[in-house]
Structure 1
Amino acid sequence: MTITQLHYVLAVAEHKNFTKAAQKVFVTQPTLSMQIQKLEEELDVQIFDRTKKPIQLTETGQKIVQQARNIVNESDRIKDIVDQQKGFVGGIFKLGVIPTIMPTLLPMFINNFIKKYPKVKLKIEELNTEAIIERLREGHLDAAIAATPLELPGIKENVLYYEPFVGYIPNAHRLHNKEKIEVNDLDIDDMLLLEDGHCFKDGIINLCKSSRNYDEDHFQLESGSFETLIKLANEGLGMTLLPYLHTLDLKDGEKKNLKMFKDPVPAREVSLIYNRSELKMQIIEAIRSTIAGVVKGAIAFHNVNIISPLSKKNEFQE
């Protein structure tokens, strides 16, 4: 068997279609089919059930694909070792970023990174945490930036910074006149939240669970963006919590509605996460150091209480 054949098997397993898989690996469909058939003949097993639409892995095929990923990753490590020895920082790097971090962090570091590491071709994708974990495990992402701790087998977490939660409390709200708010002030009944799928929402729910004012059956309004939550709050429909970096670009009139928490300030932990195989570590370290350099000046909070993004519905754990 060859590494090339294993690449072909992984492509078909992903796309569940021989034609699409062939396009993905830049060969003709007959070439790809012939190579996979040769591998099946050599192993004397059927990897794919071609009678089903879309094509499905056989029970043995599932185990072969899992091992094929390991072999392909290890083969990639050989080139990676050579690159590291040469001090080369370049090539394609696929980075996932969760939606509540993408609009604030990316503009802060991307230009610096591109100028410092022009040979790296960053491919950045906005994904929720569940999709990020799936793509990391399948090898479709090299690393990701997400809220942690996630405590997942096979995934390493390298902490980048701690980002405080900040209250956005308009004039008419009962907490507006407080100089600083406390966790016990929070009431889930007048809290505007992001939609399901956002780990920032799970963090807020976990925060409210530590307060006496939590009722799991009561939610008022949910939205897909912080901008909409702010507008809803301005209309007198409740308050919301924002990540600290998001507050830096608010209008002056909106900044008057911001309230910090008393120490220890509740915060989310933001990390660079990647597979334990530690491929492309020179690029991962380059991203980490670039972000650390720009965030250090923006976030200077030390007495924080880390709020986990893990929820009871969390299905990331294997």
Structure 2
Amino acid sequence: MTLSEFKFIVAVARERNFRRAAEKCFVSQPALSLAVKKLEEELGVTLFERGHKDVTMTPIGEQIVAQAMRALEEADRVKEIARMGNNQLAGPFKLGVIYSTGPYLLPEIIPALRKLAPEMPLEVEENLTANLETQLRNRVIDAAIIALPFDVPGVHCEPLYDESFVVAVPDIHPWAERKLIHAEELASEKVLLLNSGHCFSTQVVLACPELSKSGEVLQGNSLETIRNMVASNLGITVLPCSAAVERYQNPLIRMIPFAEPVPLRRMALAWRKGYAREQAIECLLQAIRALKSPCLQSIIAAA
């Protein structure tokens, strides 16, 4: 068994295709296929079921690939230790973040991280919560910024802040001059939300339950796409407060606060228990909690 063979089977497991896995590993497909076959023969088990369209792992293959991921991480850790010495703030940090937070929070925290840890650049993975959970458990990412609840065995969650929601309407909408909107009123409107699978959409529906009963809901691929659809007068939407601050506002859209009780979400940083770079986690927490954005004042209270 070699680390190269481990890299090959992990790539096949992720890509579910030998050709794409070979491209990811920068080797020819015959070379990768031969290496995988050699490892299967050495272990005396079949790791993958080869189909016409894709490749799936056998039950024993899933266990071996999971162990191979851990072995590769430990091997990388050896290199990391040698490179960094005792400096946990040197070397890239792989941060996962949900789609509805990344574009708005990252521009705020990266300048702070550049000062706190100039040798620790962020490798950012934007994804759905379910995918970030898998990547976190499989050690693909170091930590993730997600919305609670996020109850995953072996993962620690540190609450960061509560973020309120706001209503966005076209400037020609009858509500454009309103001061407050009650959550139940959304059921009478055409509401644009992210596609199913995005936790933010689920949170909006939970906060405005009438939407699931009588509201007309259309879906978009990103909050910025939805924002543009609102500007074109297709409907209204609900945005997290961080997406509604001045730098992101459109003159064709009006932002209106919710009446009490204001819908909100609690954001948190999640990382594996026992993760070796504790100082990197503390540095990231410090950068987020030090933000002075008016929209995220509750960070300080949550700290």
TM-score (norm 2): 0.76
1:246 paired with 2:240, answer no
Match of 1:293 in 2: 290
Mapped to 2, the partners of 1:55 and 1:242 lie a distance apart of 39
Match of 1:265, SS state, is coil
SS of equivalent residue, structure 1 residue 180? coil
Structure 1 residues 56 and 271: CA distance shift in structure 2, 3 A? same
* Offset, 1:144: 2.3
SS in 2 for 1:158: strand
Out of 140-149 and 24-33, give the one that drifted further: 24-33
Tell me the distance in 2 between the aligned counterparts of 1:53 and 1:232.
Answer: 37
Query: 2:110 corresponds to which residue?
Result: 110
1:162-205 deviation digits (Å, cap 9, x = unpaired): 11101234566565555333334432644332333332221111
Query: How many residue pairs get matched?
Result: 299
Query: Secondary structure at 2:291's aligned position in 1?
Result: helix
What residue number does 1:307 align with? none
Q: Provide the secondary structure at the position in 2 that maps to 1:139.
A: coil
Contact 2:156 2:272 in 1 (8 A): yes
- Number of the residue aligned with 1:97: 97
Q: Which amino acid aligns with 1:300?
A: Q
* Distance (Å, rounded) in 1 between the aligned partners of 2:142 and 2:275: 9
Q: Return the offset for 1:80.
A: 6.9
Unaligned runs of 5+ in 1: 305-318
Quote how far apart the aligned CAs of 1:293 are: 1.2
CA displacement at 1:4 relative to structure 2: 5.3
Amino acid across the alignment from 2:255: L
Rounded to whole Å, the distance in 2 between the matches of 1:55 and 1:253 is 50
Q: CA deviation at 1:289?
A: 1.5
What SS does the corresponding residue of 1:278 show, helix, strand or coil?
coil
Task: Give the TM-score, by structure 1 length.
Answer: 0.73
Q: Deviations over 1:94-120 (max 9, x none)?
A: 222222212211111213323432322
Q: Among all aligned residue pairs of Structure 1 and Structure 2, give the percentage whose two residues are the same amino acid.
A: 34
Q: Decide whether aligned partners of structure 1 residues 180 and 68 sit closer, same or farther in structure 2, where only a CA change above 3 A counts.
A: same
8 Å CA contact 1:96, 1:143 repeated in 2: yes
**Alignment correspondent of 2:61:** 61
1:309 corresponds in structure 2 to none
Q: Deviations over 1:22-70 (max 9, x none)?
A: 5645677777666655544443323344686644433322222233334
- Quote the residue 1:128 is aligned against: 128
Note if contact 2:189-2:236 (Cα within 8 Å) is conserved in structure 1. no
Deviation at 1:207, TM superposition (A): 0.8
- CA–CA distance in structure 1, aligned partners of residues 44 and 238 of structure 2: 58
Q: How does 1:18-97 map to 2 (within 5 A)?
A: 21=21, 24-25=24-25, 36=36, 39-49=39-49, 54-73=54-73, 86-97=86-97
| Structure 1 residues 172 and 92: alpha-carbon distance in aligned structure 2, compared to 1, 3 A threshold | closer
